[in-house]
Structure 1
């Protein structure tokens, strides 16, 4: 120890708390062939304490097919959905204060379906929605596709989707969100 002095003496400690000379262990993603850090735990089976640890990309892939209402009949699923909405109503009320943005739960199911009909991204701003509406309405308008019943049905769906998103945007601007 001659010639080398420890930095762990006295108060305050002269090195940062949590700093050490040893290499830190990083848990890697449990997906075969992935070299990213595995910081997202996922259960190996229902009601099990054992966990997989995935990177964000593989955790999203793991959860993609997960159905919250699996195994429930329609009445039980509706009751559970109503209970969840009742218990989590505070989160929905926070949208009034502008704490949420598009794509993070601030849009309703109808708005998400409307975005699908208009072929828009979940995070699309209203200007992008307008452009998509104009493009699709022009392509599917009954005057340009005379006698095509499918194009007429698509045009009606596009109009309904745009009406849903326009009213949501008006509510948002009216509330000052």
Structure 2
């Protein structure tokens, strides 16, 4: 009896932590050559293929940064696929007024990003910079400055809409904050 050792799995309560076992666990390594980290992020080997690579988080991010979801589609097919994605994800947009509906990281929406591109600003621009850029651009194409110019009027409307999107987003953030 002196050589036997008592198991810690007897009786109640358990005398060891849950998930602490003596068996070897199988760990899949990253498929990137030379990487010894755990490969738990699946990535498709090619579009519409069931075969997957399994990368660590760092190499999965690198692989996905070069991924083009719309590769091989013409402009109409791209717009159709984007429209389908938006309609399928509409439930998430409806739930944005709940705290759990947003991303939580303070990032900007696609509409805000398009508005910032139109105003030629960086994604992390403060609202004061947005207001300044809006005023400068609006002064150049305002209908009073260029009367009868349809192109300038259209640009002015786009700038106004971009500013309105960013202003409303700023108001929403200030209400949450």
Partners of 1:173 and 1:16 in 2: CA distance: 43
Alignment partner of 1:120 is 2:136: no
- Residues 40-91 of structure 1 show CA distances to partners (whole Å, capped at 9, x for unaligned) of 1112234444321112221111112222222233333222222222221110
Give the structure 2 partner of residue 167 of structure 1: 168
**Corresponding pairs, count:** 154
Are 2:131 and 2:163, in contact at CA under 8 Å, matched by a contact in 1?
no
User: Where do 5+ consecutive residues of structure 1 fail to align?
Assistant: 122-127, 143-155
Partners of 1:62 and 1:38 in 2: CA distance: 13
Classify 1:162/1:58 alpha carbon distance in 2 versus 1 (closer, same or farther; 3 Å): farther
Are 2:115 and 2:166, in contact at CA under 8 Å, matched by a contact in 1?
yes
Give 1:73-92 correspondences, 5 Å limit.
73-92=74-93
Query: What is the SS of the residue equivalent to 2:97?
Result: helix
| Structure 1 residue runs of 4 or more that deviate by more than 4 Å after TM superposition | 10-13, 134-140
Give the structure 2 partner of residue 130 of structure 1: 127
Coordinate RMSD, CA, aligned = 3.8
Partners of 1:40 and 1:73 in 2: CA distance: 30
